[in-house]
Amino acid sequence: MFNKLIVALMPLAPRFIVKMVSKRYIAGEDTASAMATCLRLKEQGFLTTVDILGESVTSDQQARDARDSYFDLIGEVANNDIAQNISLKPTAMGLGLSEDIANDYIGAIVRKAHEAGVFIRIDMEDSPYTDKTLAMYDRLRVQYPQLGTVIQAYMHRSLDDVTRIAVSSGNLRICKGIYKESPQIAYQDADEVRQNYLRLVKEMLKQGAYVGIATHDPFLIDESLKIIKELNIAADKYEFQALLGVPIVKRLDELVKMGHRVRIYVPFGSEWYAYSSRRLKENPDVAGYVLKNIFVRN
């Protein structure tokens, strides 16, 4: 209750309070901090994917700037001894402005990443962009196999999308879905989302397609492990994924010790305010955790 109150009051909160939250969820404001975080995680046995914070741009120039930042990031990732893996959001590349702009800029990023041996995953945003994102993914992956995208388990359409992509050996991250969607197109009930999540993971694994199992839900981690065992899936056909800062490190450590791949999503950049606000709204308990860290010194 107290934590919910903090979240409700958050728009009034000084930025330094939100920054306390962002410290937990964000690697820092610059590439050097992101690389340092990835190296630290690597020492702990984790793979990583790096993301530059920033959503929906409002001009072509902003989209071009975002593209150029990704060009630089590809160079940094390629020059560091870390997992060669990057995630990006299509609306940060102008998908909200024009499909042509986004196709152009994401196409250029994917080409550059291909030359550098870096894997790119196109994150999935809200439903106005689902078809456009999947069309872009389908078009680009013909030429660049080091490419993946994301499917959200709350969407009614997802089993059809996964089945189509799995039979052609696509690479998908499966997540529950983070945006507010209408009951006409998305499951609203948490159990229905979970059941669909497992259907999607199973479909990917059955077809031998590579799947990123992105969840912090212990039930889904357990059930996915059962599917992996039941279908006798090799450890190089899937990975578990979690967001930096979500307090399930112990569970992730166990997965690594059991021989499973675990990848941490490492966001960084100056746009930390919007990202942190979203994380805090998602789980108000974090507010209590953050306050404890501010006031209780170990």
Which two three-digit tokens encode residue 67? 């593209």
| Beta carbon nearer to ligand FAD, 123 or 203 | 123
The one catalytic residue in 51, 121, 123, 263 is 123
**How many chain residues bind ligand FAD (CB under 6 A)?**
24
**Is the Cβ of residue 165 or residue 214 nearer to ligand FAD in the bound state?**
214
Told to judge if 123 belongs to the known catalytic residues of this protein, a careful annotator would answer yes
> For ligand FAD, which residue of 46, 119, 265, 275 counts as binding (CB under 6 A)?
265
Element (H, E) at 121: strand 119-122
Beta pairing partners, 87: 51, 121
Please say whether the beta carbons of 153 and 175 come within 8 A. Answer: yes
Mark 101-140 with x for binding to ligand FAD (rule: CB under 6 A) and - for no binding. ----------------------xx----------------
CB of 49 within 8 A of CB of 265?
Answer: yes
For ligand FAD, the binding residue among 67, 114, 141, 176 (CB under 6 A) is 176
Q: Which of 283, 284, 291, 293 binds ligand FAD (CB under 6 A)?
A: 283
Q: Which of 103, 214, 197, 202 is nearest to 154 (CA)?
A: 197
Measured at the CA of 183, the angle between CA 177 and CA 187, to 5 degrees, comes to 45
Q: Are 136 and 104 contacting, i.e. CB atoms less than 8 angstroms apart?
A: no
Q: Does 178 bind ligand FAD (CB under 6 A)?
A: yes
C-alpha span between 207 and 228 (Å, rounded): 12
Shortest distance in whole angstroms from residue 123 CB to ligand FAD: 3
**In 3D, which of 126, 149, 124 has the Cα closest to residue 139?**
149
Tokens representing 132 are 């456009």
Taking contact as CB under 6 A, which single stretch among the options 10-18, 159-167, 177-185, 221-229 is the one that binds ligand FAD? 177-185
CA–CA separation, 120 and 123 (whole Å): 9
Which span (10-18, 26-34, 228-236, 276-284) binds ligand FAD, by CB under 6 A?
A: 276-284
**Which among 121, 173, 261, 279 is annotated as catalytic?**
173
Residues that bind ligand FAD (CB under 6 A): 123-124, 150, 152, 173, 175-179, 214-217, 241-243, 246-247, 265, 279, 282-283, 286
